[in-house]
């Protein structure tokens, strides 16, 4: 599971070198928005070197590449795929055809450099109205896809909407991405909260995302990582109650009961499913294996 995904500029050597110590489950080495066009080559070389040095032992490594309507995305893929990041994050994905084109090119690069076909996963970044409306088709477009990622800043610009801390303007997009992802049996990841200094704001925003069904959230500041981790980690009370539910179900099965209750409340299939999800997360955290 990816509770937190921390963006790191691909042209910032100090941040890239120290990124594994910042507490995020995943880091996103960015070759897109944080890198000026004239610095793309240098950023690719830096990211490739960081990947080759295997500096990241605590965090999964994702590389955000430039969009397909740019001149840079093929060079991005050719530079980083041989170093085997866990995932590529294609930006501004609007259509399933975008992913299919990417998939073909990634396969060619994998074969050329001796990487097993399908090694590199994809986490598409949906940040346009077109991408949101095509979310389900995008999710089904490649077996490489592990989830859908919402980009709120570019999306609100595309919608001609005003970006607010409350997030009402992206509520529909959030809901649509979660529904599309879960319908396709993959995960949904939420957009960053961009006010670095508002720690209570990021907590509220993360809690809303979790309540809507997102499994994790991105961050643009290391200051937000611990807060997001806390929000997306089940509390001791949630874990204890989940175990009580599963124990009650097991006991009911042993006694041959057709219906089971706990603390006066009936336990139905959705309640059991949520309990199992919480216990699975507990086990993943205990084993240090938070990434699927």
What residue numbers does the annotated binding site cover? 64, 127, 154
Residue showing tokens 């990211």: 47
Q: Classify burial at 120, counting beta carbons within 10 Å of its beta carbon; exposed 0-12, middle 13-18, buried 19 or more.
A: buried
Return the SS3 of 129: helix
Detail the residues annotated as belonging to a binding site for Mg(2+).
127, 154
CA dihedral angle for residue 151, residue 153, residue 156, residue 158, rounded to 10 degrees: -80
Which tokens is 236 given?
């001791």
DSSP 63: E
Helix ranges (H only) for 129-265 are 129-133, 135-139, 152-159, 171-183, 199-212, 225-231, 236-255
> How far apart are the C-alpha atoms of 290 and 2, rounded to whole Å?
6
Angle between helices 171-183 and 199-212 (to 10 degrees): 40
Detail the residues annotated as belonging to a binding site for substrate.
64, 127
CA atoms within 13 A on the CB side of 82: 12
Cβ burial 1-10 (10 Å sphere, 16+ → b, else e) = bbbbbbbbbb
């Amino acid at each position: 599971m990816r509770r937190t995904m921390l963006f790191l500029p691909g042209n910032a050597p100090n941040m890239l070198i120290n990124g594994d110590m910042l507490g995020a489950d995943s880091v996103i080495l960015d070759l897109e928005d944080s890198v000026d066009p004239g610095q793309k080559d240098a950023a690719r070389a830096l990211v490739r070197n960081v990947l080759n040095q295997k500096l990241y032992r605590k965090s999964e490594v994702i590389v955000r590449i430039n969009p397909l309507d740019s001149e840079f995305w093929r060079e991005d893929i050719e530079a980083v795929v041989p170093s085997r990041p866990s995932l590529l994050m294609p930006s501004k994905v609007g259509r399933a055809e975008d992913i299919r084109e990417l998939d073909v090119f990634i396969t060619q690069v994998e074969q050329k450099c001796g990487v097993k076909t399908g090694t590199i996963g994809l986490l598409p970044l949906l940040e346009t109205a077109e991408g949101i409306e095509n979310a389900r088709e995008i999710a089904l477009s490649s077996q490489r896809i592990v989830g859908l990622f919402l980009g709120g800043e570019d999306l609100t610009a595309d919608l001609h909407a005003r970006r607010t801390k409350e997030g009402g303007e992206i509520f529909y997009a959030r809901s649509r991405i979660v529904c599309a992802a879960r319908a396709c049996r993959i995960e949904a990841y939420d957009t960053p909260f961009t006010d670095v200094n508002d720690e209570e704001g990021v907590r509220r925003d993360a809690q809303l995302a979790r309540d809507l069904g997102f499994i994790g959230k991105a961050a643009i500041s290391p200051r937000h990582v611990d807060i997001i981790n806390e929000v997306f980690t089940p509390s001791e009370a949630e874990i204890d109650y989940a175990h009580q539910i599963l124990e009650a179900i097991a006991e009911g099965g042993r006694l041959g009961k057709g219906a089971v209750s706990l603390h006066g409340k009936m336990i139905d299939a959705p309640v059991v499913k949520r309990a199992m999800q919480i216990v699975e997360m507990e086990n993943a955290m205990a084993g240090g294996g938070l990434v699927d």
